[in-house]
A and B are shown apart, each in its own frame.
Chain A
């Protein structure tokens, strides 16, 4: 990876005029936003507004059409980019957990540090057990994903991402596939993470949660950021009629 003169005083993720189309369908029409180190931001908006596409672009799972995304000063969509180096910095948790079903919970958490970072097994295992405790899953180390509930699987997925010691965590509607009673345990794990100083970008429909943990909230609709602000003012003083309409349906 080429060296950049990025310093922690600058935004850790910086997006400028991002455009992204799938065929003829333009999903993102010029998105710009900055995330500082340690900040927690929530992206909310109606289905199909491009929220998930936005965060999938940040770790290069989706290519972009134009604009720029800098992570720690490095252009994500530079063709010469070392994608593996990027993905060591940016962790991602998915809506459908996407655990490796043939590996136990602990093995899921250990796989990437062993294979990608090539760290010694005993050290990796110690760290993995700590992470399992951190997401409150002690005793489930040897269970297979198929034997765990949705909420438990999602917490394993969070631990799996954390095992790579990322600088930024992306959460793509991570509670959208869960039963209402297990949503809370996953949100608690994320909240704990956010409060520990991890930079988090969340796409979510959990408004109460967004209000509680976010430093900044972005509302997207039809591929653009309509309005953004800190939660204290965003929920009560929304100015744009689209934001007001969305919030009135949700809250």
Chain B
């Protein structure tokens, strides 16, 4: 044992309620690190996917077809007005029943979408419902006259959206998007319910195995999320600053 491990080992001997077991038992360290890695993967996938779905949804909201607009509206209402935990359970247990399976060895039947896959899909669609509304608000903030100027120059509707409306709308949307993505990272903990081995899942498993580690696990959970979300917010704020236009919107 090195000095760091020895310190926490002694601490747990002197104060049994503060058993930071994962700081001196390599097996538990491995569990925490794999949980943290899963949380990072889950967060990054969901953030990227939810932004993409949000953009597509916002684009479709401007569609000519009332049917397309109604479908987008229905999607938003469904995912925004129901709890994400129920969505996770529904996706995994209900829709999971209907997904095709494959067999690696002729005996097992493995569904092609794992619980991790379902968590990514379900949480991304959940956060994207809010992103659609955030981007829509951004698009509506761009004056009609700016779009007219673009069309008067001969740009098509798509070109006007890509080169004029979207770059401006995205800047308007960033602060609200920032908020929603913070919530999304925190909501990944609910994937615990379908046994996705992310950070909370691993921590709960550890303190179920070693009840003296409960306080220690919770402290580390808080610190881990403060750091994770802090990094995201730092990144988003830097992006917001970098995207600022001299003399515009201040």
A18 at the interface (CB under 8 A from B): no
Q: How large is the interface on A (under 10, 10 to 19, 20 to 34, 35 or more residues)?
A: 20 to 34
B247 at the interface (CB under 8 A from A): yes
Chain A, range 210-224, C-beta contacts under 8 Å to B:
none
A16–B27 Cα distance when bound, in Å, is: 87
Q: How large is the interface on B (under 10, 10 to 19, 20 to 34, 35 or more residues)?
A: 20 to 34
Whether A116 touches B246, Cβ cut-off 8 Å, given contacts A98-B145, A98-B148, A101-B168, is no
B86 at the interface (CB under 8 A from A): no
**A101 contacts across to B, CB distance below 8 A:** 146, 168, 245, 247-249
The segment from A69-77, A86-94, A197-205 found at the interface with B is A86-94
Question: Would A144 and B246 count as touching, CB distance under 8 A?
Answer: yes
**A157 contacts across to B, CB distance below 8 A:** 149
Question: Would B246 and A147 count as touching, CB distance under 8 A?
Answer: yes
**B246 contacts across to A, CB distance below 8 A:** 143-144, 146-147
A115–B154 Cα distance when bound, in Å, is: 9
Q: Is the interface of B mostly helix, strand, loop or mixed?
A: helix
**B171 contacts across to A, CB distance below 8 A:** 102
Task: Give the contacting residue for A102; candidates B150, B155, B159, B245; CB below 8 A.
Answer: B245
B67 at the interface (CB under 8 A from A): no
Question: Would B155 and A61 count as touching, CB distance under 8 A?
Answer: no
A98–B171 Cα distance when bound, in Å, is: 18
Question: Would A115 and B146 count as touching, CB distance under 8 A?
Answer: no
A61–B247 Cα distance when bound, in Å, is: 29
Q: How far is the CB of B146 from chain A (nearest CB, A)?
A: 5
B164 at the interface (CB under 8 A from A): yes
A148–B246 Cα distance when bound, in Å, is: 10
Question: Would A116 and B149 count as touching, CB distance under 8 A?
Answer: no
Chain A, range 59-85, C-beta contacts under 8 Å to B:
59, 61, 83-84
A83–B153 Cα distance when bound, in Å, is: 10
Residue in chain B with minimal CB distance to A86: B154
A225–B99 Cα distance when bound, in Å, is: 70
Query: Which residues of B are in contact with A by a Cβ distance under 8 Å?
Result: 143, 145-146, 148-156, 159, 163-164, 167-168, 171, 245-249
Q: 9 shortest A-B CB distances, which residue pairs? A: A146-B247, A98-B149, A112-B153, A87-B154, A146-B248, A147-B247, A116-B154, A92-B152, A101-B248
